[in-house]
Structures are given as structure tokens and as C-alpha cells.
Structure 1
């Protein structure tokens, strides 16, 4: 009876040790992955910082003015005319959509997918089939 308890105790101790080692290695793997992600994040932040600095250099008005003066003739650039600027209220309204008859014809075309091309065109444009040849 004592031998069974000793064997069970040894088996429990071995299984507990194996479990602890597995947990330890998993924790180390998670820590390594976290460190790798932090390194990538630092790299991305550094790249973003460099790109922001480069962008602020590229959009400096003095630099842009110099480029316009140097390449304006090749690109055909002209000064902006104040008449080109308008308010949103001054823009014309969007044109009206198709007439209701056209909508009905289109709806019937979609419903009747078995129509021939001539029938579809005649239904759309209200022309007889024979005149569409």
C-alpha cells in the first residue's frame, strides 16, 4: 500500500515539474514575442517621425515657390485667378435624374430579363422594334 502511494507521489511530482516547465517556456515565448512587437513598434514610430520631418520639409512654402519658378514653364503653370474661386452656394444644382417613364422602362427591363435586345431597346426608347435595325 505504501509503495502505491510512493509511486503516485513520484508521478504527481514529475507531472507537476513537467507542467511548471511548460508554463515557464510558454511565458518566455510570450515575453520574446512581446519584446519583438515592442521593437517593431519603436521602428514604426521612428519611421513615422522621419516621414513627418520629411513632409514638413517638402511642404515649406519657400521650397515650393522655388520649384514653381524653376519648372513653371515646363508644367504650364499659371497664377491662380481669384475668379476661379467660388462658394458652394454658387455651384449649380445637380441635374435631375431620369424621367419616371424611363424609370418604368428600366424597371420592366430588369424584370423581363428574357427580352431580346430589340425589345429592350424599343421598351427603353418607346420606339417600335422594326425601326431599330
Structure 2
């Protein structure tokens, strides 16, 4: 009987060692993927900060004003003046909700119609 217990104990130790071995390598793989993902996130943040800087550079008021003056004939853009702005209480909102008088048939995209 003792021999049977020893055999089961040895098999349990081998099984647990095999499980720990697999878990160790799975953990190492997840840690490697996490490092790669963090590196990707860091490079994306750097790209995003560069794009934000470029956007701020391209949207400088003096540059936009110069572009509006250069392309005045084609675009007809005028500079903003304070008297062009209104107050919030001057905005007219509709008094009643939207009323749909006639329905519109909508079909799913990609489905063939019966003719």
C-alpha cells in the first residue's frame, strides 16, 4: 500500500512540475507581449504628439490669415469680426419636435431586391 501511495505522490509531483513549467513559459510569453505592446503604445504616443504639434503649427492664426488673403479670389473668405458673433439667447430653436409626415423605405445594404 505504501508503494502505491509513493507512486501517486511521485506522479503528482511530476504533474505539478510539468504544470509549473508550462505556466512559467506562458507567463514569459505574456510578459514579452506586454513589453511589445507598451513599446507600440509609446511609439503611438510619440507619433500623436508630433501630429498634434504639426496641427498646431499648420493652424497658426497668422498662417491661416495669410492663406485666406492669398486665396481670397477663389474662396471669398473674410476675417472674423466681433459683430459677426451673436449671443446664445438669440439662437432660435424649434418649438416642437420633429414630425415625420412620410415614411421612407430602408433596405439593407448588399441585399438583392426582388424585381
**Please, what TM-score do these two structures have when normalized by structure 2?**
0.69
Q: Structure 1 stretches (4+) deviating beyond 3 angstroms? A: 79-83, 93-98
In 2, the alpha carbon distance for the partners of 1:20 and 1:73 equals 75
Whether 1:20 and 2:54 are equivalent positions in the alignment is no
In 1, the alpha carbon distance for the partners of 2:8 and 2:96 equals 85
Query: Counterpart of 1:68?
Result: 68
Query: Counterpart of 1:6?
Result: 6
Higher helix share: 1
Q: Which aligned pairs between 1:36-47 and structure 2 lie closer than 5 A? A: 36-47=36-47
Q: Which runs of 5+ in 2 are unaligned?
A: 102-115
C-alpha deviation, 1:43, in angstroms: 1.7
In 1, the alpha carbon distance for the partners of 2:6 and 2:89 equals 92
Query: In angstroms, what is the RMSD of aligned CA positions?
Result: 2.6
C-alpha deviation, 1:39, in angstroms: 1.4
Classify the secondary structure of the residue corresponding to 2:10.
Answer: helix
**Please, what TM-score do these two structures have when normalized by structure 1?**
0.61
Larger RCO: 1 or 2 (CA < 8 Å, sep 6+)? 1
C-alpha deviation, 1:72, in angstroms: 1.5
Kindly tell me the number of residue pairs found equivalent between the two proteins: 99
